[in-house]
Chains A and B, each alone.
Chain A
Amino acid sequence: MKVPHLEPDSMVGSKPYVSKPEHNTPLGFPGELVEGWEQKAVTKLGELVSQSRALQVFLDSCVKCGACTDKCHYYLGTSDPKNMPVARQDLLRSVYRRHFTFAGKFFPKLVGARDMTKEVLDEWYSYFHQCSQCRRCSVYCPYGIDTAEISMAAREVMDSIGQGQKYTNEILVKVHKIGNNLGLPGPALANTLEGLEEDVKEDTGVDVKYPLDVKGAEVLLVTPSADFFAEPHVDGLIGYGKVFHAAGVSWTLSTHASEAGNFGMFVGSSANLHKIAMRIREAALDLGVKRIVVGECGHAWRVAYSFWNTLIGPFDFLDPRYPVPQHICEFTYDLIQKGALKFDKSANDDKVVTFHDSCNVARASRMGNMPGGQFVIPREIIKATCNHFHDMAPETIGEGTFCCGGGGGILTDELIDLRIKGAMPRMQALKDVIEEHGVTHMAAICAICKAQFTKIVPYYKLPMDMIQSVHGLVSNAIVLNAKQ
């Protein structure tokens, strides 16, 4: 990966639409930029720091060693120095220093401390929406400084003064009101699932069910709402259903919790994070399920794996023999291990597959019972269902994986330029395996990755349909009548 030279302020103009009052007030944020926001922002920042050891330590500890400067895909793709993780942190750290540290109060020039001004706010708005909170920088920083935490705090401060971002806040309102990010109401969802059942029946001749709100089912499946209709997401959902069918495990989706995604994390709002997660506890209790399984979604898996127990636990009402929550890949992998699934790998013989590790799965969560299981399990599933698999270059996968360029709440059209540029490192690694190993398809386990990639691969002269759901591959290869 070639590291570009600096092109200062080349991306300063990249900013998402500001959210309107109707997308702010329902979330508990002021409708628009409030009177005296400078002081309010500083006060809020102080509050956040006092409530988060991460912020406290990260803001003090950076030594400006520069180790992270070439690690962010947005810097690599845009050359804008403010997209270097440490420089992004400094946008906020400078204000923190000015108001909360001895050195910044008395020697601001010396340590680069700045007052909270309109110019600073504008910079925050641009560059904290050029961070996908992918945590790649935190892997490489000697103190584990995680710019994602700082981006979340900055966005929370901005929301608290009425400078929210339209895309995320609109979605947050939708999920609170309708139950999922896409605003798909219950009846439409039921229709969609019926349609899927018919399609699968036509395809395979087997009655695979896609149940909704079934009380007493064994498993509650919570999945990103994109799975309900977008391509290639829906192939994944079809795959989950086939796996449950083949395993003979009863399962259900829930209209109340028809969304695994939790954008509360992106804007750093603990209240929203908690409230959105709470729907899953409620649905699980209401339906009386024994297990919760989460579909293919990166940040949703982070929230589920790392935060659910804290936010909506304890899960003493669920079957203690299974991890709570369980990833659909863990579920499928267990069955494969037990020999309970039968595959015809030749169904995927038209493909040479590679796997994109999604950032939130790779660096913010785990699968299985050993560190790094999140890298092994999806690959084992692919290998069980496909004859041809090749990994991309080692420094671009696993814990060093490059973000798709669209995560963290920036998957919106007005940021398309940023998204294309931010995808560059991943695209380069992909092109390398295409050339060297004839790779034809890239599988992913994240709704945002899939949506982002299908949108931006054409700009890199690659076909949209090369992006696959891992459970789409499972769906192709699984032999269903084995059990019939």
Chain B
Amino acid sequence: MSAVTVIYALLFYIATAILVIGVARKIFIYARTPQPLKIPTTPAPTTRLGVAARMVREVTVFESLFKSNKWTWLFGWIFHLCLFVELTWHLRYFIEPSPFFLSWLQWFINFTGYGMVLGLLGLWGRRFLVDRVRYISNLSDHLMLALLVGIGASGLSMKFLFHTDIVSLKAFFLGLMSFSLQPLPADPALLVHLTLVATLMIIFPVSKLLHAPGVFFSPTRNQVDNSREKRWVAGWSAAIDNTKKAAG
């Protein structure tokens, strides 16, 4: 077994462990931390179902972002949509036989790589061109975009310039999942792509990428507006006992 294979196998085991444990830990913290008061941003749905619909709109069409800034919405939405299609498409490296629905994506996949990079460059451009966004950008925000652009560009390069042996690649990942190492094709473009992806997985739980799980826990978006109908208590507010005072 080549050194490259061993190193990347280890890298992906470590990256996966960090990603899964790190994000699970954060989700656990979000879930465990109480929200003592009702603070939905109103007008808000008055039923659970309505809140679910609000959340679906937020994560699929970015409703709030659409209200606030059409350019950021456009670039952000294109990027996320393309990323989502690409991630789904990549399932074919992990599942044998490839899931049947992947064939439906065949056509989109011609564009999604470009879409991703285009959306990212649009967002990045705003970090330079709009003085307000420039002001709030940290070095980490630029590096994050660089990382994602790198992932997209290296992915695209394999599609159109440096074809890699995807049959062996699939064997490598299937092998990883069953703990039996298979050789990884040592193509430079592939190695760059994989390194960047693993980096992204590793920094995910300690970065702003936590917005992905975070949005589902955001009280201003996930609370039902029914404070008069249903008494809400959690955390310090659960310690309030008014019945005693009323009697005494």
Q: Which residues of B contact A71 (CB under 8 A)?
A: 68
Beta-carbon nearest neighbor of B67 in chain A: A140
Which residues of B does A touch, CB under 8 Å?
A: 26, 29-30, 33-39, 41-46, 50, 58, 62, 64-65, 67-69, 72, 76, 123, 126, 130-133, 135-141, 143, 206-208, 210-211, 214-215, 217-221, 225, 227-228, 230-233, 235-237, 240, 242, 245-246
Known: A52-B35, A56-B33. 11 other contacts (CB 8 A): A60-B26, A64-B208, A65-B76, A67-B65, A67-B69, A103-B207, A109-B139, A112-B139, A141-B68, A143-B218, A146-B220
A111 touches B140 (CB 8 A): yes
| Nearest-Cβ distance from residue B205 to partner chain A, whole angstroms | 8
Interface centre among B58, B211, B215 (most CB of A within 10 A): B211
Beta-carbon nearest neighbor of B73 in chain A: A67
Beta-carbon nearest neighbor of A270 in chain B: B236
| Nearest-Cβ distance from residue B127 to partner chain A, whole angstroms | 8
Q: Which residues of A contact B214 (CB under 8 A)?
A: 57, 60-61, 143
B240 touches A274 (CB 8 A): yes
Bitwise, A319-349 to B at CB < 8 A (1) or not (0) is 0000111000000000000000000000000
Chain A interface size, under 10 / 10 to 19 / 20 to 34 / 35 or more: 35 or more
Beta-carbon nearest neighbor of A303 in chain B: B37
Beta-carbon nearest neighbor of B39 in chain A: A54
Complex CA distance for A56 and B62, rounded to whole angstroms:
22
A110 touches B231 (CB 8 A): no
Q: Which residues of B contact A58 (CB under 8 A)?
A: 218
A87 touches B135 (CB 8 A): yes
A463 within 8 Å of B (CB atoms): no
A-B contact pairs, 14 of them (CB 8 A): A52-B33, A57-B219, A64-B138, A65-B69, A66-B132, A67-B69, A142-B64, A142-B65, A144-B64, A278-B245, A309-B231, A310-B233, A371-B44, A375-B43
Complex CA distance for A3 and B71, rounded to whole angstroms:
15
Beta-carbon nearest neighbor of B132 in chain A: A69
List the 3 shortest-distance A-B pairs measured between CB atoms, nearest first: A140-B68, A61-B214, A144-B220
A370 within 8 Å of B (CB atoms): yes
A159 within 8 Å of B (CB atoms): no
Complex CA distance for A63 and B72, rounded to whole angstroms:
12
A372 touches B43 (CB 8 A): yes
Knowing A54-B35, A135-B41, A306-B37, the reply to whether A103 touches B132 (Cβ < 8 A) is no
Bitwise, A336-378 to B at CB < 8 A (1) or not (0) is 0000000000000000000000000011111001111011000
Complex CA distance for A165 and B208, rounded to whole angstroms:
33
B236 touches A62 (CB 8 A): no
Knowing A102-B206, A103-B207, the reply to whether A61 touches B137 (Cβ < 8 A) is no
Q: Which residues of A contact B123 (CB under 8 A)?
A: 65
Q: Which residues of A contact B217 (CB under 8 A)?
A: 53, 57
A65 touches B72 (CB 8 A): yes
Q: Which residues of A contact B137 (CB under 8 A)?
A: 64
Complex CA distance for A307 and B135, rounded to whole angstroms:
36
A366 touches B135 (CB 8 A): no
B42 touches A374 (CB 8 A): yes
A69 touches B220 (CB 8 A): no
A86 within 8 Å of B (CB atoms): yes
A370 touches B46 (CB 8 A): yes
A313 within 8 Å of B (CB atoms): yes
Q: Describe B's contact surface by its main secondary structure.
A: helix
Q: Which residues of A contact B58 (CB under 8 A)?
A: 142
Interface centre among A5, A84, A142 (most CB of B within 10 A): A142
B42 touches A399 (CB 8 A): yes
A313 touches B46 (CB 8 A): no
B228 touches A90 (CB 8 A): no
Knowing A64-B136, A144-B64, the reply to whether A309 touches B211 (Cβ < 8 A) is no
| Nearest-Cβ distance from residue A135 to partner chain B, whole angstroms | 6
Complex CA distance for A336 and B136, rounded to whole angstroms:
50
A371 touches B46 (CB 8 A): yes
A438 within 8 Å of B (CB atoms): no
A145 within 8 Å of B (CB atoms): yes
B68 touches A61 (CB 8 A): no
Beta-carbon nearest neighbor of B65 in chain A: A142
Beta-carbon nearest neighbor of B232 in chain A: A310
Knowing A110-B139, A306-B37, A364-B39, the reply to whether A314 touches B69 (Cβ < 8 A) is no
A74 within 8 Å of B (CB atoms): no
| Cβ contact of A51, chosen from B33, B133, B211, B228, cutoff 8 A | B33
Q: Which residues of A contact B237 (CB under 8 A)?
A: 270, 310-311
A306 touches B131 (CB 8 A): no
| Cβ contact of B211, chosen from A62, A68, A81, A365, cutoff 8 A | A62
B219 touches A323 (CB 8 A): no
Bitwise, A272-293 to B at CB < 8 A (1) or not (0) is 0010001001100100000000
| Cβ contact of B235, chosen from A51, A57, A90, A135, cutoff 8 A | A51
A365 touches B246 (CB 8 A): no
A149 within 8 Å of B (CB atoms): yes
Q: Which residues of A contact B230 (CB under 8 A)?
A: 309
A50 within 8 Å of B (CB atoms): yes
| Nearest-Cβ distance from residue A440 to partner chain B, whole angstroms | 29
A139 within 8 Å of B (CB atoms): yes
A244 within 8 Å of B (CB atoms): no
B215 touches A66 (CB 8 A): no
Q: Which residues of A contact B130 (CB under 8 A)?
A: 66
A364 touches B140 (CB 8 A): no
Q: Which residues of B contact A296 (CB under 8 A)?
A: none
A389 within 8 Å of B (CB atoms): no
| Nearest-Cβ distance from residue A132 to partner chain B, whole angstroms | 16
B242 touches A313 (CB 8 A): yes
A138 touches B41 (CB 8 A): yes
Interface residues in A101-118 (C-beta closer than 8 Å to B): 101-103, 107, 109-112
| Nearest-Cβ distance from residue A155 to partner chain B, whole angstroms | 16
| Cβ contact of B43, chosen from A62, A107, A311, A366, cutoff 8 A | A366
Q: Which residues of A contact B233 (CB under 8 A)?
A: 310
Interface centre among A65, A87, A311 (most CB of B within 10 A): A65
Bitwise, A64-91 to B at CB < 8 A (1) or not (0) is 1111111100000000010010110010
| Nearest-Cβ distance from residue B38 to partner chain A, whole angstroms | 5
Bitwise, A134-169 to B at CB < 8 A (1) or not (0) is 010011111111100100000000000000000000
A229 within 8 Å of B (CB atoms): no
B231 touches A314 (CB 8 A): yes
Bitwise, A372-401 to B at CB < 8 A (1) or not (0) is 101100000000000000000000000110
